[in-house]
């Protein structure tokens, strides 16, 4: 770098919350989040590492040299290089407030019950704060928009939005507004009585204002260079001397390349401060945009131009806005330069197809000259562009559109907001009036997602020139489009038929838009009223809804809507998760060496190169596990059966399977060295899907059967309907894909070896402390009592940390014992998704018999197949629960179900909210729809006819009592106005051709208890101290569901003391031993009863003293009891009574009780794109008398949203040739976002019901509402059916779960979809498959 004569800096200077941080010899590769967390700012969380979840959001304040002012924007700190923040100010969650003095932004999120597990909360708070900081008059719309780069897996988003909108400006004069006294809007910086949010540092302002342009400097470390030019001229000079240097502005693409593709760039040029290249100039014939303008600023400037210029001139600008408004999240748009988007040459770029269609011209410069390049000539191949290494893109010219030039742009993705495109397109068509005709003078159609780069359709464009614009001419273009973009059945990206269909559908949309515009000057082009809804995308209104519940009016804490006990700590970033814990002395970090194939023999493992790498301490493998003996092999583990190796030795059975660990002095060195371990394999054939396993007869040995009525001659019973009452039968296949847990905190563990007696302490993010304790002892060859597992909280679990969290802790324990030092690891998002398993995919063949009116008589599910993965894990219990729930809420007299587990070469699938129950209920709703379609009746009529009644018996021989299904149904049918709305939907569908609505009313019934009887027990400890304060411990873990809050309420209620007088620190196995996993939704039931038992013991001891001294306060009573030597500690215990089910005989009680609910959901679909929007959902749940109704409402909403995701947009995809999980991370795997929830979301807890089989007459709530979210899928199905009816297609059709945009569009089966059909040839495999 000497040739540049640029000052080399030795210090990086960043201000964080107005405090200066000095980094000596900064590393150009280090991210901002890494630096922040090293310096103790652990409130900023790492959720994905790719800018896709928003948990790492901070606010960055920088100086704009053009406008001479400080600007603020939200940033993903996981992508922002630390070096890019030199001389800038970073505000983290810690800078807003603390748990004892909340900032109002933190306060509204906490008090609105907007934080459950809390891991995503700091990022959400910072996004909201930044919006308010940069927008002095925020509206409810702008506040909703502020969250489009943030994800939450727990809450269902509604409470966050509801709280955040309290800070919006209603538009009234604040001085005279009638709601002034209750309004939250006001001085954003007001922090408390005397304190303020840390301001932009004065010394930074002084430093920047004395400079005329940014400072030029270089950072260098370990051969990596970070160059910060001061001007465009210096940038060009640097590029001339170092032509292969990588230019970065926001690092939103390069950061992904380095992290996930192992790209290496020794020289970075950071252009983020070059204001001179961020301007937009308005010229006579168009605009020139500086190449470094960010997407956010471009949106703002183009919006201003669209408002100020003649409308026809800005059609192209509007097309740009239409596509980029869904470009990534706000944090990405704030820093991503358009030059990066263009030069990256992504095949699925949102921007490039629009620029191609508009005839944009690029200006590129080098130190030796300037070139102009038309966008149609810029892309040369996959990620290849017409740019010399020494050249820099400096500006983009976009011409104004002419009066008869029409432009539009379209994009379709899995999820509308913050998602990469499946297909993008842009169209430009210039017409010329010749006589009575409008002739095509010129056209340019461009597509992304249809080839290796942004394509323009040469044949189609050539065909159109000179043609009279008409519908018939456009119809002739459809086959030409497919010739221009000849996707093969095996093309990368998959979804071939869908992509080809979209290409045609977008052209049809464009044609209709042009006709609509022309109709303003020529009435002959007026389109039919039924087609007008296609002119614009489905508009989403503001989220709103009503939450209905009754708080208890009785004294005591139970039944009160108390805010989550840790909410204040979560909104301030003070809540501690495993990776937030301070480093232990001499602590090491471990990185997993995982299999790179999905099935094969291990020939050799060579860690020698890794052991030479910087900072590496050791390689850990099977050789370091306790030795095997005649009775057991400590390397063999498993949730139920010991059928998994902790460290693979001779064989690997799925990609990512752990072979060993590299242990080093820090995470960076450990991960780099792990890639150097050489493993040689002999590959073997692999199976991934249920279908492949069935064909290969690859099953686990244990099967399950349930037979009742006529299918069980030995115990026929006395069914109300004989089997021959079934005068009709239908048969079909139902398939549902997997679902990734996507808890925001990935699996993490810290293992600390004791100094004596082989003691081991494990700090783990696990739902199962006891199993963690037991297997750590097992692999170390020591007794359980030498191991203590401690769990403070989890950043989400949902079943994914019930058993699959254990192997990581075990491996770290082996390393810690070997080295005598603490060892930590937190999985990256992609590691976690690859190895932790998912919800089980299911495949089932059903045959159903029913009467002429639709009364169910018989059900045969032979066979129900579940894809277990490579080991048993908890799959047998998942299969069992699916089989007990395949009736959903319907009585069926004669049942024959046969269940099998498919053995495949994917990571072992595991527990997930509902634990097989939702899959069973999905089978039920598929065959109920089949019956309804067969009989030509509304499915709601068939559902209502078959609802369980009190005293009826399930197919697993369990009588059910206190059934509130019909009451639920009737109340919701009325409150949701279902009948009238169903008629309105029919009318809407009659008058709209390309938009269809669907509505459904659907019940659920969920059984509560562990199906493994021995797990239905709990212990708890209660300590009353002499000052009257109480400390409790129980066996459950807090993962956002509010368990600890409810337990505190139960104890406070029992002792009749304030909630604040009871404290719970953490879950630990040396206080509560032999705990069951926090799972099956029964943790409140079990642990609450155990705590109640402990409280009753203490109260019984205090009773004589109370009777003698009725006027004593609690504190005086306790103090007196101590003086009287009365034991103020108690160990409580509870076991669920009467559970006795036997699978061999199909007799006994399976569950303690059932939770019931009904949902009504209405959706709208775009039949041309497959897009959908959930317009409204109403949910009514019977959950007894809630211990905390606000927390339970949150659980209902969160479960519903997860169920909606499972049934509509979430679908893991694997490579059928390698077994590689293609959908790793939020970039390719999409969970619902803030704007995916129902626009109107009404949730009510049924009044006046009690449950005598649970604590305080409550009912479990974690899992039962999940399947209510699937009502979205069946409402979509109803809408698709209306679209199919327009095509003359009647009757039943198969719709697999999830109902993705692809399945919606293709299921409409119009001519465009049929033309796009592209079958696989013999022996071919698609790019990706759902397993």
- The helix/strand count (H/E) of the chain reads as 35, 47
With tokens 């999120």, the residue in question is: 109
- 1056: its two tokens: 């009749």
Radius of gyration of the chain (CA): 31
SS3 assignment, position 329: coil
- Residue 1038 burial by Cβ neighbours in a 10 Å radius (0-12, 13-18, 19+): buried
Q: CB atoms < 10 A from the CB of 1082, how many?
A: 26
Q: In the annotation, is 1263 catalytic?
A: yes
Closest-CA residue to 154 (of 1207, 1194, 1283): 1194
Show the CA angle centred on residue 18, arms to residues 13 and 22, nearest 5°.
20
With tokens 């959400």, the residue in question is: 124
Q: CB atoms < 10 A from the CB of 423, how many?
A: 26
Q: CB atoms < 10 A from the CB of 41, how many?
A: 23
Distance CA 999, CA 1274 (A): 8
Distance CA 877, CA 868 (A): 11
Three-class SS of 404-422: CEEEEEEEEECCCCCCCEE
H or E stretch covering 1159: strand 1153-1166
With tokens 């891991």, the residue in question is: 119
Closest-CA residue to 1068 (of 1033, 1044, 1095): 1033
**Cis peptide bond N-terminal to 1298, omega within 30:** yes
Phi, psi at residue 67, to the nearest 5°? -95, -5
Distance CA 732, CA 862 (A): 11
Beta-sheet pairing, 69-76 with 678-683: unpaired
Per DSSP, the residues of 1237-1281 read: S-SEEEEEEPTT---TTSGGGB---SSGGGGGGGHHHHHHHHHHH
Distance CA 1077, CA 911 (A): 11
The single residue of 220, 925, 1162, 1263 carrying the catalytic annotation is 1263
With tokens 């004589």, the residue in question is: 1104
Which residue spans within 541-599 are E strands per DSSP? 547-548, 588-594
H or E stretch covering 986: helix 978-991
Q: CB atoms < 10 A from the CB of 194, how many?
A: 5
Length of the chain (residues): 1331
Three-class SS of 879-932: HHHHHHCCCCCECCCEEEEEEEEEECCCCCCCCCCCCCHHHHHHHHHHHHHHHH
Distance CA 621, CA 838 (A): 26
- 364: its two tokens: 């590129």
Q: Which residues contact 785 (CB under 8 A, 6 or more apart)?
A: none
Distance CA 973, CA 970 (A): 5
- 646: its two tokens: 């902790």
In terms of C-beta distances under 8 Å and separation of at least 24 residues, what long-range contacts does 12-15 make, across chains too?
12/82, 12/83, 12/85, 12/86, 12/219, 13/86, 13/87, 14/82, 14/85, 14/86, 14/87, 14/88, 14/90, 15/88, 15/89, 15/90, 15/201, 15/204
Distance CA 787, CA 782 (A): 8
Distance CA 219, CA 221 (A): 7
With tokens 């869908």, the residue in question is: 498
DSSP symbol at 471:
H
Instruction: Give catalytic residue positions.
Output: 1263
């Amino acid at each position: 770098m000497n040739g540049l004569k640029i000052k080399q800096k030795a210090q990086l200077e960043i201000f964080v919350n107005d405090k200066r941080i000095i980094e000596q010899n900064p590393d150009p590769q280090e991210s901002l989040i890494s630096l922040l967390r090293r310096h103790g700012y652990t409130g900023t969380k790492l959720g994905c590492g790719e800018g896709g979840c928003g948990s790492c959001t901070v606010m960055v304040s920088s100086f704009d040299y053009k406008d001479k002012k400080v600007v603020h924007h939200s940033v993903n700190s996981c992508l922002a290089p630390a070096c890019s923040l030199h001389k800038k100010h970073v505000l983290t969650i810690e800078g807003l407030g603390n748990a004892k003095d909340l900032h109002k932004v933190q306060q509204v999120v906490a008090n609105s019950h907007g934080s459950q597990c809390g891991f995503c909360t700091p990022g959400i708070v910072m996004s909201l704060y930044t919006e308010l900081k940069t927008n002095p008059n925020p509206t409810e719309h702008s506040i909703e928009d502020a969250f489009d780069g943030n994800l939450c897996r727990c809450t269902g988003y509604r409470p966050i939005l509801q709280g955040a909108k309290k800070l919006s400006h209603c538009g009234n004069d604040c001085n005279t507004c009638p709601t002034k006294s209750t309004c939250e809007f006001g001085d954003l910086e007001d922090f408390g009585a005397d304190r303020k949010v840390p301001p932009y540092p004065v010394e930074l302002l002084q430093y920047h204002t004395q400079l005329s342009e940014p400072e030029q400097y270089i950072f260098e470390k370990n051969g990596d260079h970070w160059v910060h030019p001061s001007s465009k001229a210096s940038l060009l000079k640097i590029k001339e001397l170092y032509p292969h240097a990588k230019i970065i502005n926001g690092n939103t693409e390069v950061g992904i390349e380095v992290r996930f593709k192992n790209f290496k760039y020794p020289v970075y040029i950071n252009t983020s401060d070059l204001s001179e290249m961020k301007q937009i100039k308005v010229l006579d014939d168009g605009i020139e945009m500086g190449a470094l303008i960010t997407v956010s600023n471009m949106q703002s400037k183009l919006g201003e131009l669209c408002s100020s210029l003649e409308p026809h001139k800005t059609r192209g600008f509007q097309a740009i806005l239409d596509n980029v408004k869904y470009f990534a999240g706000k944090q990405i748009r704030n820093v991503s330069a358009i030059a990066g988007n263009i030069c990256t040459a992504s095949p699925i770029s949102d921007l490039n197809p629009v620029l191609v269609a508009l005839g944009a011209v690029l200006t590129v410069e080098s130190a030796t000259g300037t070139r102009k390049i038309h966008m149609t000539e810029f892309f040369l191949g996959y990620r290849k562009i017409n740019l010399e290494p020494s050249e820099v893109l400096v500006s983009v010219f976009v011409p104004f559109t002419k009066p008869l030039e029409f432009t539009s742009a379209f994009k379709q993705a899995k999820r509308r907001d913050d998602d990469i495109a499946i297909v993008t397109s842009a169209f430009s068509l210039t017409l010329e009036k010749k006589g009575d005709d409008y002739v095509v003078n010129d056209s340019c159609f461009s597509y992304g997602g249809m080839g290796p780069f942004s394509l323009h359709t040469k044949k189609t464009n050539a065909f159109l020139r000179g043609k009279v614009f008409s519908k018939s001419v456009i119809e002739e273009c459809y086959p030409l489009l497919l010739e221009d973009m000849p996707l093969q059945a095996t093309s990368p990206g998959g979804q071939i038929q869908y992509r080809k269909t979209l290409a045609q559908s977008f052209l049809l949309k464009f044609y209709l838009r042009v006709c609509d515009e022309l109709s303003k000057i020529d009435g002959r082009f007026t389109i039919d009223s039924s087609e007008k809804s296609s002119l614009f995308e489905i508009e989403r209104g503001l989220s709103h809804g009503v939450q209905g519940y009754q708080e208890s009016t009785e004294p005591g804490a139970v039944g009160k809507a108390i805010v989550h006990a840790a909410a204040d700590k979560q909104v301030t970033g003070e809540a501690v998760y495993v990776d937030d814990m301070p480093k232990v002395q001499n602590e090491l970090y471990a990185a997993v060496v995982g299999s790179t194939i999905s099935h094969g023999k291990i020939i050799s493992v060579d860690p020698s190169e890794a052991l030479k790498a910087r900072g590496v301490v050791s390689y850990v493998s099977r050789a370091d596990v306790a030795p095997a003996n005649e009775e057991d092999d400590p390397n063999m583990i498993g949730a139920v059966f010991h059928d998994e190796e902790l460290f693979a030795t001779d064989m690997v059975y799925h990609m990512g399977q752990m072979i060993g660990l590299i242990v080093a002095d820090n995470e960076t060195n450990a991960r780099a060295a792990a890639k150097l371990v050489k493993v040689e394999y002999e590959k073997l054939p692999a199976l991934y899907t249920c279908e492949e396993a069935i064909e290969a007869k690859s099953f686990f040995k244990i099967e399950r059967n349930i037979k009742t009525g006529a299918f069980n001659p030995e115990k026929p019973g006395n069914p109300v309907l004989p089997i021959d009452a079934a005068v009709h039968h239908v048969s079909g296949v139902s398939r549902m894909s997997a679902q990734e847990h996507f808890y925001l905190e990935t699996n993490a563990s810290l293992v600390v070896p004791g100094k004596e007696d082989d003691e081991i302490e494990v700090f783990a993010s696990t739902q199962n402390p006891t199993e963690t304790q037991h297997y750590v002892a097992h692999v170390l060859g020591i007794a359980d009592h030498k191991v203590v597992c401690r769990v403070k909280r989890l950043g989400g679990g949902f079943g994914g940390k019930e058993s699959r969290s254990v192997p990581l802790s075990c491996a770290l324990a082996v390393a810690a014992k070997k080295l005598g030092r603490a060892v930590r690891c937190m999985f990256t998002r992609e590691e976690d998704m690859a190895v932790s398993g998912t919800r089980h995919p299911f495949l089932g063949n059903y045959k159903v018999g029913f009467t002429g009116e639709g009364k169910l008589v018989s059900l045969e599910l032979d066979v129900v197949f579940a894809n277990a993965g490579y080991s048993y894990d908890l799959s047998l219990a998942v299969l069992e629960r699916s089989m007990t729930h395949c009736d959903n809420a319907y009585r069926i007299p004669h049942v024959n179900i046969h269940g099998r587990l498919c053995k495949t070469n994917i990571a072992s699938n595991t527990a997930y909210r509902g634990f097989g129950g939702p899959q069973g209920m999905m089978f039920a709703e598929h065959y109920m729809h089949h019956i309804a379609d067969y009989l030509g009746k509304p499915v709601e009529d068939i559902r209502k006819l078959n609802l369980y009644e009190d005293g009826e018996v399930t197919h697993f021989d369990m009588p059910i009592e206190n059934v509130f299904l019909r009451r639920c149904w009737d109340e919701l049918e009325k409150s949701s106005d279902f009948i009238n709305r169903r008629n309105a939907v029919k009318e809407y569908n009659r008058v709209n051709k390309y938009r269809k609505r669907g509505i459904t009313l659907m019940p659920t019934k969920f059984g509560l208890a562990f199906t493994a009887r021995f797990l239905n027990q709990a212990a708890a400890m209660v300590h009353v101290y002499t000052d009257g304060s109480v400390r409790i411990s129980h066996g459950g873990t807090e993962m956002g569901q509010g368990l600890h809050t409810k337990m505190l309420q139960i104890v406070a209620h029992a002792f009749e003391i304030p909630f604040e007088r009871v404290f719970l620190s953490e879950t630990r196995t040396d206080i509560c031993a032999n705990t069951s996993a926090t799972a099956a939704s029964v943790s409140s039931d079990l642990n609450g009863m155990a705590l109640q038992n402990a409280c009753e013991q203490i109260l019984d001891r205090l009773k004589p003293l109370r009777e003698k001294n009725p006027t004593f306060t609690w504190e005086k009573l306790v103090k007196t009891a101590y003086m009287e030597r009365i034991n103020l500690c108690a160990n409580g215990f509870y076991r669920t009574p009467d559970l006795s089910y036997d699978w061999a005989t199909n007799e006994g009680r399976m569950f303690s009780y059932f939770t019931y609910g009904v949902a009504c959901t209405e959706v709208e679909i775009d039949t041309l794109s497959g897009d959908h929007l959930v317009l409204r959902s109403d949910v009514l749940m019977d959950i007894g008398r809630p211990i905390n109704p606000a927390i339970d409402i949150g659980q209902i909403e969160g479960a519903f949203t997860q169920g909606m995701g499972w049934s509509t947009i979430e679908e893991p995809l694997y490579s059928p040739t390698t077994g590689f999980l293609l959908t790793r991370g939020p970039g390719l795997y999409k969970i619902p976002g803030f704007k995916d929830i129902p626009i109107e979301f009404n949730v009510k807890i049924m009044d006046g019901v009690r449950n005598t089989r649970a604590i305080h007459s409550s009912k479990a709530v974690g899992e039962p509402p999940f399947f209510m979210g699937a009502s979205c899928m069946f409402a979509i199905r109803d809408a698709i059916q209306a679209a199919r009816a327009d095509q003359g297609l009647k009757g039943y059709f198969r719709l697999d779960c999830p109902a993705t945009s692809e399945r919606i569009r293709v299921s409409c089966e119009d001519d465009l979809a049929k033309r796009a059909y592209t079958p696989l040839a013999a022996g071919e495999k698609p790019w990706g498959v759902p397993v």
